[in-house]
Amino acid sequence: MAVTIDLSGKRALVTGGNRGIGRTIAERLAEAGADVAVFARNEQSVAEAAAALSGRGVRGLALVGDVGSDADVERAWDTLMKEFGQLDILVNNAGITRDGLLLRMKPEDWHAVLDVNLTGAFRWCRLAAKQMLRQKSGTIINISSIVGVIGNPGQTNYAASKAGLIGFSKSLAVEVAARGITVNVIAPGFIETEMTHALGEHAQAEFVSRIPLGKLGTTGDVADLAVFLASPMSDYITGQVICVDGGLTR
């Protein structure tokens, strides 16, 4: 029996949905029938991503802004509610790195990573949870990293933001569970995107040698799990961290 996931009638928002992992998540949610809003800073690629979603026969909505700005998130939220009227699926995917060993880490690099990766998700979740509690339904998917589970030298700021996102999500999951809202975390390993290309070939080869399945993951590997977590098939799963990492974390 073929299993199909039907998200038609659902309204989703993906932060950082204009490229990389977020873009593939937005596309796969749209393929499953959901209307999808994309929120990120680069106006041109946000518009292009939203237009591509609309080309799939669902509604794509471009929302330009910085997850590090309360005002940008609030403005985007108002537009989202005006255009979509509800939010069923929130994917907090926007993220940055500012790597460096702790002793050399500039305070601004610490604060920037925490503000985008962790506080950015807080900004969106606070607004979304209020709406979902009113709707008595909804699902939140936060994109962390295996680095938030196992740590990584040179990434104390990134690891702290991603570990923080896990604690945040587990706590929120319990706060909203009584209204049927689920909150889960995806922790990707090494996925082929601009973020990992920036590591260079040598570092990439070294990482691959440590992955039991022997290859980098694709954005589709992460997006397939996001679609499952956004669907009624995962209604009884909440407060979980699921690693998509080729067996690296176990």
User: Least CB distance from residue 35 to ligand NDP, whole Å?
Assistant: 19
Stretch of 1-9, 54-62, 89-97, 171-179 lying at the interface with ligand NDP (CB under 6 A): 89-97
User: Least CB distance from residue 179 to ligand NDP, whole Å?
Assistant: 27
Q: Hey, how many other C-beta atoms are within 10 angstroms of the C-beta on 201?
A: 8
Residue 180 main-chain phi, psi, to 5 deg: 75, 15
Stretch of 171-179, 194-202, 204-212, 225-233 lying at the interface with ligand NDP (CB under 6 A): 194-202
- End-to-end CA gap in the chain: 31
Residues 6+ apart with CB under 8 A from 127: 73, 74, 77
* Complex with ligand NDP: residue 41 or 98, whichever CB lies closer: 41
Q: Is 246 in the site for ligand NDP (CB under 6 A)?
A: no
Rg (CA), the chain: 17
Draw the binding track, 6-45, toward ligand NDP (x: CB under 6 A; -: no contact).
---------xx-xxxxx-----------------xxx--x
Stretch of 51-59, 64-72, 205-213, 233-241 lying at the interface with ligand NDP (CB under 6 A): 64-72
Report the distance separating Cα 244 and Cα 146, nearest Å. Answer: 8
Report the distance separating Cα 56 and Cα 127, nearest Å. Answer: 28
Which are the catalytic amino acids? 158
Q: Hey, how many other C-beta atoms are within 10 angstroms of the C-beta on 103?
A: 5
Binding site for ligand NDP (CB under 6 A): 15-16, 18-22, 40-42, 45, 66-68, 93-96, 116, 143, 145, 188, 190-191, 193-196
